[in-house]
Each structure stands twice: as C-alpha cells, then as structure tokens.
Structure 1
Amino acid sequence: MRTEVVGHGGVRLGLRVEGTTNTRPIVFVHGWAQSSGCWAAQLADPALTERFRLVAMDLRGHGASDVPATGYDDPRVWADDLAAVLDFAGPDAIVVAWSYGGLVLVDHIRVHGTARLGGIVLVGAITEIGRDRPGGRVGPLMREHMRAMLSDDPDIAVPAFTAFTRGMVAGPVPGAQAQALLGASLSVPPAVRAALFRRDIGSEDVLVSIDKPALVVHGTADRVIEPSAAEHAIGKIPGARGRWVVDGGHAPFAESAAEFDAVLRQFAEEC
C-alpha cells in the first residue's frame, strides 16, 4: 500500500506500507539518492510481513515525496520528517536506517530523543557528516564518483551512477532490482543530491545518549561507507551490537536479503 504523511513545513512524504496491523512497526529509512523501493525484498518477505507492520519512507526530495527547495541542511527538518512517519507507524518502532538514513535517524534523536523508538538498526550507515568526522567516513567508490554524480549533465551523471550502483554491491543482485536502484538515484534532482552534503555536524554526544537496543550491520567490503564508521557507532552507542557481513558491500538487505531479514527479525523480536 502507498500512502503519505505530512512532514516539516507541510512537505508530503511518500510511504510504502506492508504487513500486519496492530503489530510492532519497523520503519525503514533509505540513503542518499535512493527511495523506499530499495527495501523491496523486506517488504515482500512473509517472515517479516506476518509478524510486523513495515513502513518504508521516501525522504524529502526523493521517491514519491515532495521536493522542496530548502531544508536539506537542517537537523530539525529531518527530525520532524521522521517524527511524522513514526507517529503514523505507531509506538516503539524499530527504525532501520541505511547510509545517509543513519544521519536522519540521529537527527531525530538529537531533536526529539528516543521516546518514539523501540530500537535502532544502522545499516552501512553514517551518523555524522563533514571533513574528518569518524562517523561519516566515505569509501573509495563514493570519493571516486561523487563530483560526477552531482552534475546536472546526464552525459556525466548517468555513467557515474551506473558505475556507482554496480560497485555499491559486492554480491549478485537481481538485474531488475539493480536497475531500480539506478533509476531511483537518477530520479533525485541534482540540486537535492548536492544539498544533502552541505552539512557539517558531529554526533558523538547523541550516540552516547541512546538508551534503546541498537544493532549495527555493515559489510566488510563496503566501498561507499568505511567500516570504521560502523566501528565508531558501535563504540559510542551504549550496548550496541555489531553484525559484520563478511565480504558484503553497501547494501546487505539487497545482496544478502535472506540473511539480513533473519537478523532483523531476531533483533525486532528481542526488542
């Protein structure tokens, strides 16, 4: 099912909803230049949909959400957007945040605390952004293609995103899903792609304040976000557990969907 909620400043945020009502919600937050469609395997997994209510959001400027001109550099905007989704999803939600989505989740905790949360799962995620921020270290694939991926010239951006999407995963991904990931990236306006990086903010004080169960999942072969970013989160969040996907890339929920879903299901049930 597709629906929407209203986020900060009246911005409409697209949602995909699957699963059983009146059950524990799991909210999925995608990464930079992606969409809720990246969680296709999870939204279609009966082992999850029969036990939980799954809510996957489109960040502002992405997917089916509105594309405002401003707000991409403001932690409160991201915090309020996620708060609106959590209000829709229900109390004690497990939030699964991938890549840039990890920063959005931390923004929510920075502004609103952890009251709406039942637990958090960081997947190939950053928790801060800016030069020399240990929780936001990007890998060689991102560094190689970043400038080109921000271009509004399709002759420059399309080949860069094609190479980036191919290199983002370390294992086989169905061709249709790989093309969907590429299409989602190209559908995000270049101005939005650039705006998300016009930030410089640390989060150590936020991470050490987290008082809910936390799981950090990261591929050892992730070339988009350095594994050291995961180590930083594990070291700062009290009681956080790490789950390393050996030889995994940046998208374990797509590369190793069955393994990822089993880990997520176990964590959510324990929470």
Structure 2
Amino acid sequence: MLTEVVGAGGVRLSLRVAGAANASAIVLVHGWAQSSLAWSAQLADQDLTRHYRLVAVDLRGHGGSDVPALGYDDPRAWAEDLAAVLDFAGNGAPVVLVGWSYGGLVITDYLRVHGTTNIAGVVLTGAITEIGRNRPGGRIGPAMRAALPAALSDDPGEAVPALTALCSGMSARPVDGPLTQSLLGTSLSVPPAVRAALFRRDVDSSVVLSGLDVPALVIHGTDDQVVDLSASEYAAGKIAGARTRWMPGTGHLPFVEAAAEFNSALSQFAGERFAH
C-alpha cells in the first residue's frame, strides 16, 4: 500500500506499508540517493508481514516524496520528518527503527532532537551515523570514494558513469541484473542538487550514540565497499550493550544479498523488543 504523511515544513513524504494495521511497527529508512523500494524483500516477506506492520519511507528529495529546496543540512528537518513517520506507523506505540547507510544518520538526527521517544529498538545496517572529514562513524569504502565527487555532479557525463559504478559495487554476492538497474535508476531520479546537499554536513554523533537507552542491533556486510565496516564498529562501540552481526561475503545490501538471514535477524530482534 502506498500512502503519505506530512513532514517538516509541509513536505509530503511517500510511504510503502505492508502487514497488519494493528500490529507492532517496523520503520525502514533507506540510504543516500535510494528509496523505499530498497526494502522490497522485507515488505514482501510473509513472516515479517504476518507479525509486524512494515512502513518504509521515501526521504525528502527521494522516491515519491516532495523535493524541497531546503532542509537537507538541517538535523531538525530530518528529525521532524521521521517523527511524522513514527507517529503514523506506531499510532502512539514505540516502533523498531531500521536505518541503512545514510538512513543511520537520519536516525541520529531524530535521536538528537527527540531522544528515544516512540522507539523500542534501533537496527543499523551498513549505516553511517556521522558525516564529515575524519568522522569515524561516517567512514566510507572504496566504491563510494571512487564515485565522489562525480556522483554529485549535474553533468550526466560525470554523474551517470560514477553512479553506475557505485550501484554495481554495492553488492558482494550476485544479485539480479534488473535490481542493479533499479538501484541506478533510483539514484538518477534523485536530483543532483539533493545528492550534493546531503553531503554538505559535518555531524558528530558520539554523544547521541553513547546516550542511546534502547537496545540496538548493528549489522554490516564484511565485504561492504560503500560504507566501511569500521563505521559500524565505531557505532557499536559507542552504544552500550549493542549487539553486532557481521555478515561474511556480503556487501552493502545485506537485506537483499542475504535477505532470509537479514529478515530472520530483524524478526527476532523485533520480537524481543515488542515482547517487553
């Protein structure tokens, strides 16, 4: 099901929803220059949708959501956008919040503003939690380094080859050719100005991570070439009691490359959180 909510500044945010309306909710936050379609293997999983309500958001400037001129460097805008999604998903009850790649940074924006209000637990997968020069929680891998700055350009002669190589480098295990093309198409659909604006930030999340007072699960593919494994090791080291799950032979798309394993881990974590 497709629906929408209104975020900061009246920005319309598109949502994909699966599962029972009255079930405990899992909110899925995608990464840089992607969309809620990244979570297709979770939204279609019969076990997850039988037990939980899954809500996947298109971040501002991405997918089917509005493309405002401003807000991409404002942590409060990201926080209020996500707050609107959580209000819709949980109907006032706490949710499990899942962030992939840049989605992890959006989660820290929410935590910085709202704390753990309406959050039962946090899952970070291949995620950054910081951004800026020499920020350990934002350390990127060789595929992303090779793509920048060309992937931010408004010149298609620069951006298209860079984004093509980046999308091809997201997975370590074989994935369907149509999926790789879909990732590329989604990246190209995000305006260059938005792709660039998301990088114009300098964020230290050490205090936010250290203050996290709900359980956290940190998942990372050991062969991730987009976000370095050390970014997740840093986050896990800051979050008290964080569990880790390193997935050997898996790249930046563990929820696609090893969907069954990822979905099982997510279902187990959510079940524990909602049993309390």
TM-score, scaled relative to structure 1: 0.99
- Give runs of aligned pairs for residues 86-235 of structure 1, distance below 5 A: 86-90=86-90, 91-235=93-237
The equivalent position to 1:260 in structure 2, one of 254, 259, 262, is 262
Instruction: Give the match for residue 67 of structure 1.
Output: 67
* Match of residue 53 from structure 1: 53
CA-CA distance at 1:181 after TM superposition: 1.1
Q: Compute the displacement of 1:180 (Å).
A: 1.3
Q: Distance in 2 between matches of 1:92 and 1:173?
A: 34
**SS of alignment partner, residue 50 of structure 1:** helix
Q: Which residue of 2 aligns with 1:245?
A: 247
Give the structure 1 partner of residue 10 of structure 2.
10
Deviation for aligned residue 1:81: 0.3
CA RMSD between the two structures: 0.7
Tell me the equivalent position of 2:30.
Answer: 30
Gap runs ≥5 in structure 2: none
Query: CA–CA distance in 2 between the matches of 1:146 and 1:5?
Result: 32
Question: What letter matches 1:164 in structure 2?
Answer: L
Gaps of 5+ in 1: none
d(CA) in 2 for partners of 1:127 and 1:147? 20
**Counterpart of 1:199 in 2: which secondary structure?**
coil
Q: Write out per-residue CA displacement over residues 150-181 of structure 1, whole angstroms, 9 at most, x where no aligned residue.
A: 11122221111111111111011122222211
What is the identity percentage for the equivalent residue pairs of Structure 1 and Structure 2? 66
Distance 1:254 1:152 in 2: 29
Partner Cα separation in structure 2 for residue 14 and residue 21 of structure 1: 17
Misfit runs of 4+, over 3 Å: none
- Give secondary structure in 2 for the equivalent of 1:31: coil
Give TM-score scaled by structure 2 length. 0.97
Letter in 2 for 1:124: G
SS of 1:4's partner is strand
Give the counterpart letter for 1:6 in structure 2. V
